[in-house]
Amino acid sequence: MDQTSEILVGRKQEVYHLKSIMDSKEAEFVVVYGRRRVGKTFLINTFFNDHYAFKLTGLARKSKSDQLSNFTSALNRYGDGQKFTKPRTWYEAFDKLRTLLDAKLRGTKQIVFIDELPWLDSHGSNLISALEHFWNDWAVTQNHLVLIVCGSATSWITRKILKNRGGLHNRVTQKIYVRPFTLAECKEYINNQGLVMEDKEIAECYMIMGGIPYYLKHLKRGKSLSQNVDEMFFSERGSLDDEFNALFASLFNKSENYIKVVEALSTKNKGLSRIELLKATKMEDNGHFTTILQDLIDCDFVRSYRGYDNKTRDSIFQLVDPFTLFYYKFIKTYGHYDKAFWQFQIGTHRHDVWAGLAFELLCLNHHRQIEQALGIAGIITQVYSWTTPVSAEEKAQIDLIIKRADKVINVCEMKFYDGNYEMKKKDYNDIDRRVRAFRTANGIRYAIHPVLVTTFGLEHNQYSGIFQYVVTLQDLLRD
């Protein structure tokens, strides 16, 4: 198992976690979850190399009867000659699974993997009650057993398993949330696939696809990034031409309400308050709306933050998923364009505006790497954004503020640039104005250090000295 885990790209923490589970002397109930296409099943299958005592994958949008037929097929496949008849209920199905596992040798770990568990839960199926009984009545006492359940429907996994208030309350022993790749993991995956890309292309790839391994898998050798993007998202019958709708439908029940929220957020780059979101979506202010926001946060589509000077402590909700942003900026309108749409966007004003915003999101998603580059990884920090009107026509805004426990504040200026960034007088004056407005508005007595985060570096001139430090893609590409 350890040898097969080496072919995984990234996932070091997840592999370490799985190894600790295999070393456990007790029964383990493991939940592996995360958004569609993020590589959950690949992680488990690669680590365990198909060494399962039992494995089942649920069927999408099928009846209880079809699910039980599929369960029976799996029982017979792993039954070592035992013949099982189709159960009538999930209680009977799990009882048959117990019979199968009882007949197997106990000398090694028995891995039971149920993938896409949410798909098994058809209306009135009593699946969760039966799973509760299976675990509490028998499986919890089997110290050689590792039960792994997995699913993309993160909201279902959270409510039905992780926050279960019935028989499964506090029964999960381990949980592994599989996140999208970091920029460094994207580079490792791209290199592993034999693709040739410069660091700036890799960054733009992340800015479009958001570190989702399945999307990266569709990149073809010998084609430029823009050619690949056209084939994947903008050509007729492209490999990912309907991915957005499939993504939200797989993650959330009543996905249209979730889409309303992210669509509203896509129109406001810096985010909206709850009150502003309710007004924009025309949805009711109730517990369901709270659940939608929390689910979107849990799935890494949205971040919740408070402005530096937010005295009311109202949260701001901001869309931070690169693929969703790219969908609303381009795919929704120009999908199925059936021409070299993206190739013709390179260098246009529309592309540059999107790239600036998408690079800011990349930096937000990699603020830990920025802190590491600044040499403050061991210091307690808080991350903020800030905006305030300075006149009827003008406002001052800082998109990434790192407040440090050592009484220094880093304000980050983020620039996606083709070469070294050249500071001009008007840019110098703009940064100086915003820093002074930030200090005055908040009564700050800490040292404020402006930081440039950019692709390659800074061209030194009479204005470049305003930056105390320069962070480049090389820094963001570190683990």
Q: pLDDT over 90 for what percent of the chain? A: 78
Its pTM surpasses 0.85: yes
pLDDT for position 184? 96
Residue 330 has pLDDT above 60, yes or no: yes
The answer to which of 41-55, 387-401, 453-467 has the lowest mean pLDDT is 387-401
Q: Which fold has domain 366-476?
A: Trna Endonuclease; Chain: A, domain 1 (3.40.1350)
Residue 457 confidence (pLDDT) above 90: yes
Distance CA 175, CA 32 (A): 6
Query: CA angle 162-167-170, nearest 5°?
Result: 40
Tokens 């039992």 map to which residue? 54
Distance of CA 267 to the CA centre of its chain: 21
Choice among 62-66, 339-343, 450-454 with the minimum mean pLDDT: 339-343
Judge whether 121 and 128 are in contact, CB under 8 Å: yes
Q: Would the pLDDT of 4 be above 60? A: no
CATH of the domain spanning 245-325, picked from 1.10.645.10, 1.20.1050.10, 1.10.10.350, 1.10.10.10: 1.10.10.10
> Residues 12-22: what's their mean pLDDT?
95
pLDDT of residue 458: 97
Place of tokens 């006149």: 391
Q: What is the pLDDT of residue 2?
A: 41
Of 183 and 313, the one with more pLDDT: 183
> What does the pLDDT average to over 294-323?
86
State the virtual CA torsion across 118, 123, 126, 132 in degrees, nearest 10.
30
**Domain spans, the chain:** 2-177, 183-241+335-355, 245-325, 366-476
Q: Among 246, 389, 388, which residue's Cα sits nearest to residue 327?
A: 246
pLDDT at 174: 96
pLDDT given at position 116 = 95
What pLDDT sits at residue 389?
A: 67
Residue with tokens 């499986």, as numbered in its chain? 139
Structure tokens at 425: 């007088």
Contact 213, 37 (CB under 8 A): yes
Sheet containing 408-415: give its strands across: 381-389, 395-404, 408-415, 447-454, 469-471
Rounded CA separation 288/286 (Å): 5
The mean per-residue pLDDT over the stretch 5-20 comes to: 84
Alpha carbons 141 and 144: distance in angstroms, whole number: 9
Residue with tokens 């479009």: 208
pLDDT for res 123: 85
| Alpha carbon distance 9, 185 (integer Å) | 7
Q: How confident is the model at residue 3 (pLDDT cuts 50, 70, 90)?
A: very low
DSSP secondary structure code for residue 284 in this structure: -
Instruction: Summarize pLDDT for 408-417 with one digit per residue, the tens.
Output: 999 999 999 9
Q: What mean pLDDT is predicted for residues 197-208? A: 97
Each residue of 259-293: pLDDT tens digit?
Answer: 999 999 999 988 999 999 999 999 999 999 999 99
- What pLDDT is stored for residue 312 in this prediction? 53
- Give pLDDT tens digits for 292-305: 999 999 888 999 98
Which position has the higher pLDDT, 358 or 108?
Answer: 358
Q: How many helices (H) and strands (E) does the chain have?
A: 23, 15
Residue 413 near residue 463 (C-beta atoms within 8 A): no
| pLDDT at residue 5 tops 70 | no
337-374 pLDDT, tens digit per residue, is 767 899 999 999 999 999 999 999 999 999 999 999 99
Residue closest to 321 by CA, chosen among 410, 208, 466, 163: 208
pLDDT at residue 390, as a whole number: 58
pLDDT computed for residue 313 by the predictor: 67
Question: Picking from 175-184, 249-258, 331-340, which range would have the lowest pLDDT averaged per residue?
Answer: 331-340
What is the band of 404 on the pLDDT scale with cuts at 50, 70, 90? very high
Domain 2-177 sits in CATH at 3.40.50.300
Mean predicted confidence (pLDDT) in 388-397: 68
**Average pLDDT for the chain:** 92
With tokens 């097929």, the residue in question is: 73
